[in-house]
Amino acid sequence: MNNSDPLFREINKPCSSIIPMPILFRNEQYCQDVVYILEFYTNTVIDGYNKAGRQVTEETRIHIGGDQLTRNRFPRAKAMRAHDNDPHADII
């Protein structure tokens, strides 16, 4: 088996890093809490990228999963943030 063998590359690919997230005592039923959660995610992503020596650009996109209510509420909070002057407001 040599370095160009696909099986070798699959076996030896680097492991993913796990970043533990704290519990946020916020309620997704309240718009101000959803905005707070989005701000927390955004700041965490930016810090993670900076620690990895990478830069957050306009093309950077991060997927947030959740139930149907989360998927409905987060876009509304993003729309509220769209009027903010923060250049990183559209990452998440």
Could you report how far apart the first and last alpha carbons of the chain are, in Å? 42
80 inside domain = yes
Split at pLDDT 50, 70, 90, the class of 89 is low
40-72 per-position pLDDT tens digit: 988 998 998 899 898 888 888 887 777 888 878
Is there a domain that residue 83 lies in? yes
Judged by DSSP in three states, 23 sits in coil
Evaluate whether residue 72 is within a structural domain: yes
Residue 33 belongs to what domain range? 25-92
Predicted confidence at residue 47, as pLDDT, reads 92
The answer, yes or no, to whether residue 20 has pLDDT greater than 60, is yes
Q: How confident is the model at residue 25 (pLDDT cuts 50, 70, 90)?
A: very high
19 lies in some domain: no
Cα separation, 67 vs 86, whole angstroms: 27
Rounded to two decimals, the pTM is 0.64
